[in-house]
Structure 1
């Protein structure tokens, strides 16, 4: 079984659509679709997102060996760390005045917009390279 087949089985087991999985994992729809079709394999960043958001063992995803789910104790430790970091950021955010909050929100929205553009550029570059490859 390939990475694409294992990833497909995870999404199917969870009763998710590709769109829902894309949103949960934070991977563009077309990119996830390419992974599922076997046209591309996930890069390290995508695999980390899949592991984090779907709770999948990377060993299993890559090789099909071992348990499909990540070690619960390791995952809950990771979640606690993220939650502590999020709580600290939220506390700092709440301590700001309205102007500071708007500035932080604007910066975060701009960062997300840039990240989305970079991902789209990566997807388009890969699509262009695929069209240049001999059949």
Structure 2
């Protein structure tokens, strides 16, 4: 148990200078984002993974870090990469992102960071961000339409 704790602490120290959004999060925060993403309560997750409720709660409160047995159970039952859970590096599932598998879409680091942050939010936060983005898009469309109409009006006022 002590060895695993030191191992996890050393990984955290090594990744603290990283720039990825999940890399800046603690194990507790990443684990919470998994439960939120999957729509699981602590009770449901503890039953699914086979970890006592209080133990999982301690992980989520950052009062305790998962031991090797718990990490294995989390990986198996929640489909989460242990590397990602411990360090924030790689993908949550340990698989290559769908875009990379198909080669159809290239995502730049900024888009990836925004997507990871978005996915880490709860449902209310996601709705709020989506609403703000839709409003911004609507305003940009109105501004573009106004610019187009201004140009059309200017063209009609010019002598022929």
Q: TM-score, normalised by structure 1?
A: 0.52
Cα distance in 2 for partners of 1:8, 1:67 equals 16
Aligned to 1:86: none
Aligned to 2:76: 52
Cα distance in 1 for partners of 2:92, 2:53 equals 23
Cα offset, 1:43, TM superposition = 0.2
Cα distance in 1 for partners of 2:56, 2:30 equals 13
- How many residue pairs match? The answer is 72
Q: Where do residues 1-135 of structure 1 align in structure 2 (5 Å cutoff)?
A: 1-71=25-95
Unaligned runs of 5+ in 1: 73-135
Q: What's the secondary structure of 1:16's corresponding residue?
A: coil
Cα distance in 2 for partners of 1:15, 1:38 equals 20
Cα distance in 1 for partners of 2:41, 2:83 equals 24
Structure 1 residues 91-131: Cα deviation after superposition (integer angstroms, max 9, x where no partner): xxxxxxxxxxxxxxxxxxxxxxxxxxxxxxxxxxxxxxxxx
Cα distance in 2 for partners of 1:15, 1:61 equals 18
CA contact 1:51–1:70 (8 Å) conserved in 2: no
Query: Per chain length, whose mean CA-contact separation is higher, i.e. which structure has more relative contact order (CA < 8 Å, sep 6+)?
Result: 2
Cα offset, 1:70, TM superposition = 3.3
Larger radius of gyration: 2
Q: What's the secondary structure of 2:51's corresponding residue?
A: coil
Q: TM-score, normalised by structure 2?
A: 0.44
Cα distance in 2 for partners of 1:9, 1:29 equals 17
Ranges of 4+ aligned residues in structure 1 off by more than 2 Å: none
